[in-house]
Structure 1
Amino acid sequence: MPSNTITGIGSALVDVLINDTDDFLQKFNKEKGGMTYATADEQQAIISASSQVPVIVPGGAACNTILGVGKLGGSARFIGARGKDDYGDIFENEVRECRVEPVLSYFDTPTGKVLSVVTPDAQRSMFTDLGASSLLDPAAVTRQMFSDTAIALVEGYLLFNRDLMMAAVKAAKAAGALVALDLASFEVVNASKDILQDLVKDYVDILIANEDEASAYTGESDENTALEKLSDNVEYAVLKVGERGSYVHHNNSVTRIAPVRGNAPVDTTGAGDLWAAGFLYGIANDLPIEKSGQLGSICGYEVCQVMGAQIPGPVWEKIKATV
């Protein structure tokens, strides 16, 4: 690999989080735990219907991961599109503060937002308005954006923008990077079955999924069989199994990664994204698979102790001390 830089491409979004009940979620006919698209007006209607005060933090799946890499001290870059507004400023300032190089396009359309309703079991259910993040031009995505990149993380949600997805994986491969794809949500997988297997076969080196995503992708409910099928045509296949930890398939061998046990989760927003931050940082910096996975587990655990996907600074110092 040419360097240890990790470059992410995905949606530049701001997370708006509210705590509420399962009954509240059911009022909006939302299946808990997934992601659906919503207009800004629909998001506001949900916020207005809740008595809870929203928490606002930078977000976006790939960006959460890349900010985590930066916080770990890794070399990191993020490619995306933002609006020329206050939310966009909040987003870009946070990227820079995390020591991540921003490669951003600017549009008059407002910065995208994700409304996450967090239920008492700490599950988050997302309503997404992509805003300016959907306007990134596939023709503007070049191999130069991935220069000196060891691992290119392509956000699974880009499968909803197929031209951009193809531009991203082709540019990353042309630059000589390993391509990592996190399957994002079972809804993404179900909506992309006509292209997903070929995309993985032709371009993906690192495939990351949780149980629901793996089942949707492979058609298998048994986790051992699902992991075996996830590993087809990729160098690393990751299956995350929640509080039981995770498994990494590499070179015909399976490594079990133990979970971090401690306090009950406050909010699972960003858990998978920060797991990926630790794991990919480890792989890019030549750490053993078990150590990379353990770092992922630590990051995933710590982000569940706060609202949103931003781990506090002092906690990052504790995490880095384990590397």
Structure 2
Amino acid sequence: MDVRSRISARGKKVLGVGSALTDILVRASDEELQTISHIKGGMTLVDSDFLDGCMKKIPQAGETVPGGAACNTIQGLARLGGEAVFMGKRGNDATGDAFESFLKNSGVHPVLSVSRTPSGRVLSIITPDAQRSMFTFLGASSELAPSDIVREHFETAAIVFMEGYLFFNPDLAFAVLEEAQSSGAVVAMDLASFTVVEAASDLLHDAVPRFVDILIANEDEAYAYTGYRDPLKALEYMASEAGLAVLKMGKDGSLIRSGETLWQIAACNGNSVKDTTGAGDLWAAGFLHGLVLDWPMENCGALASACGYEVCCVVGAQIPEAGWLRICSRFLLTGARVSPVGS
């Protein structure tokens, strides 16, 4: 049975497993970024003290919003009207309380273990070219363990979606993959960051062919994973290991491949791009929602592009109500969790 048929046979629920993180969004110049790190883009793991020190080097005040790659995707899917569950671990603190409340308000069913360790935070520095560099204190989110997995949610999910960041905890990553596979769910994974792929290359090359049905990557991640800069060659390699492969190419759209079939999806380009934070995460939200609705692949890609573009029009990974209304009106989505602006 192919990926699409397996999803249709199991319903519409999508379970996301990932890091429960709170994003601190800060605009800064390239020069200010250089005082913190010479790495631009991607994600760098840091400790809490380093994160606090970074904040002192950047004079601008930051905006605080819930984040985490898989969590962003699951929130987006819920706002589109999907049946969405997020599994992670939070601290027993105000940051964790706010994180869980936000999920509930977005329509997500949270399945969150609680730790005495402080909740995870991410400093996301957005430079004038709209690129973001992330410095992550995982905190309690890194303590999610195989023993925290709640089997019943895997057994009722059509898709189990996981972020590549989980491979910083290999025991957890493989426990999630094995539970998803044994339950019969379709496994979707976003490689998440080229730095993750570089750090966990051997683990990923072991896991993807064995467990992953839908593999999603941007160009940098695909290059780090396949060794190919050429998009078609990279996608061919990915599709040889997963039943459905996606290559996100920003303003150049995306490519989707299943077997020998290739779909080319146009981007939603405009002049309103402010920040790429969450673009890939929200792209995945639209794509997965289209799949569980059993839409044609072209429509799944179009919804994904619309979600990816709308989040780029604001700072951070949260699409505002006006953006959700544009998306849901365009695609005639019913059950979407949006309200008219000003209501």
The answer to whether the superposition gives a TM-score over 0.5 is yes
Residue 261 of structure 1 and its aligned partner are, at CA, apart by 1.4
Structural mapping, 1:216-295, within 5 Å: 216-295=224-303
Instruction: Give the paired residue count.
Output: 323
Moved beyond 6 Å, runs of 4+ = none
Correspondence 1:56 to 2:52: no
**AA at the equivalent of 2:136:** T
What is the aligned-residue RMSD (CA, Å)?
1.0
SS state of the match for residue 241, structure 2?
coil
The amino acid that maps onto 2:108 is: V
Aligned to 1:132: 140
Cα pair 2:126 2:275 within 8 Å, conserved: yes
Percent identity over the alignment is: 51
Aligned residue type for 2:211: Y
Alignment of 1:100 onto 2:108: yes
Aligned partners of 2:135 and 2:37: how far apart in 1? 12
CA contact (8 A) 1:144 1:175 kept: no
Alpha-carbon shift at residue 142 of structure 1 (Å): 4.3
Q: Distance in 2 between matches of 1:149 and 1:239?
A: 24
User: Deviation of residue 23 (structure 1)?
Assistant: 1.1
- Equivalent residue, structure 2, for 1:40: 48
Match 1:308 to one of 297, 309, 316: 316
Q: Matches of 1:115 and 1:30 in 2, distance apart?
A: 15
The alignment partner of 2:229 has SS state of coil
- The within-5 A match list for 1:4-23 is 4-23=12-31
CA contact (8 A) 2:154 2:183 kept: yes
- 1:260-311 Cα offsets, whole Å, 9 max, x none, are 0112411111000000000011011101111001111000000011111111
**1:161 maps onto 2:169 in alignment:** yes
Partner of 1:110: 118
TM-score (norm 2): 0.92
For 1:88, the equivalent position in structure 2 comes to 96
1:78 partner amino acid:
F
Counterpart of 1:103, as a letter, is: V
Paired with 2:181 and 2:195, the residues of 1 have a C-alpha distance of: 26
Q: Distance between the aligned counterparts of 1:258 and 1:171, measured in 2?
A: 35
Helix, strand or coil: the match of 1:63? helix
Deviates more, 1:260-269 or 1:85-94: 260-269
Query: In structure 1, what is the Cα distance between the partners aligned to 2:91 and 2:158?
Result: 29
Structure 1 residues 20, 229: CA separation in 2 closer, same or farther (over 3 Å shift)?
Answer: same
Residue aligning to 2:149: 141
Would you say the 8 A contact 1:207–1:234 is kept in 2?
yes
Give the one of 190, 194, 206 matched to 2:214. 206
2:76 is matched with: 68
The one-letter code of the counterpart of 1:180 is A
Q: Is the 8 A contact 1:143 1:174 kept in 2?
A: no
Cα distance in 1 for residues equivalent to 2:271 and 2:101: 31
Residues 142 and 171 in structure 1, CA contact (< 8 A), matched pair in contact too:
no
Does the Cα contact within 8 Å between 1:139 and 1:167 map onto a contact in 2? no
Q: 3-state DSSP class of the match of 2:158?
A: strand
TM-score normalized with structure 1 length: 0.98
Moved more, 261-270 or 17-26: 261-270
C-alpha distance in 2, partners of 1:194/1:202?
A: 13
CA distance in 2, matches of 1:175, 1:251: 24
In structure 1, the partner of 2:339 is none
The Cα offsets for residues 38-79 of structure 1, whole Å up to 9 and x where unpaired, read as: 111111111111111100000000000000000000000000
200-209 or 309-318, which moves further after superposition?
A: 309-318
AA of the residue aligned to 2:321:
G
Task: Judge conservation of contact 1:13–1:114 (CA < 8 Å) in 2.
Answer: yes
Deviations 1:10-50 (A, max 9, x none): 00000001100111111223311110011111111111111
CA distance in 2, matches of 1:196, 1:206: 14
